[in-house]
Amino acid sequence: MKGVLAKRVPVWLLLVVATSLALGGTLASLAVWAVRPPAVLEVESESLNTQVINSVSLKEQVVLMSLGIQGIDKKSQHSQFLGVDIPGSDRASFLQYSFTAKLGIEGKDVRISQTGDKKFLISVPRFIFIGRSNEKFELVVEDNGVLSFVTPTIDAVDMATKVLTDDVQATYIASNRELLMTQAQSFYTDIVHSIDPDAVVGFEFAS
């Protein structure tokens, strides 16, 4: 027995045994990883989804397009006596106007949901008239009859107010709906792809 123990184990044999043990441990770790991936990958994926959702959920109004509007509005009126028009009592005013109309959506009403791996559905609310800028109103012509003094003066401020009623705003939105949809898709797709270029984005729009 003493003779056996006294024998020296070759160095190369020790290296072979150590390498085999290390390789075996590595293979075992790979086998476990294949069955159950490390939790850290799931955390990264969840974090990515959260970033996408938080980035899309804007709180302020989003201007999707601006329209350059200009035109001339006419208003005329006259007086009557006992139900009969008074000749020469006519008043007519022509108001020239121009402004930039801003159309878009309420960012806080946008909803995003995950529909699959790297797939998102963005629900866009109804389009709205956000406001106007670069306003210019000018009374360019007044056409008054010889007896126009018996007819109330036309209010230019009232004319300017009626240039952009709710019905007119709705007309601007309806006539540009397709372009607004395209702009919304481009705007939110760019946001998502800035975080995950491989994400697939779908859209649904409120009527």
Q: How many C-beta atoms lie closer than 10 Å to residue 106's C-beta?
A: 16
Q: What does the DSSP 8-state code read for residue 9?
A: P
Instruction: Look at 51 and 77; give whichever has higher pLDDT.
Output: 51
CB 180 within 8 A of CB 63: no
Length of the chain: 207
Q: Where are the domains of the chain?
A: 57-205
Look at the pTM and tell me if it is higher than 0.75.
Answer: no
Instruction: Inform me whether the pLDDT recorded for 39 exceeds 60.
Output: no
* Cα–Cα distance measured from residue 207 to residue 203, given in angstroms and rounded to the nearest whole number: 13
Instruction: Look at 89 and 91; give whichever has higher pLDDT.
Output: 91
pLDDT tens digits, one per residue of 41-63: 445 556 777 777 777 777 889 99
pLDDT tens digits, one per residue of 145-203: 555 554 566 566 676 777 788 888 999 999 999 999 999 999 999 999 988 898 999 99
pLDDT tens digits, one per residue of 105-135: 999 999 988 888 888 999 999 999 998 888 8
* Cα–Cα distance measured from residue 183 to residue 167, given in angstroms and rounded to the nearest whole number: 23
Report the chain's mean pLDDT, rounded to a whole number. 74
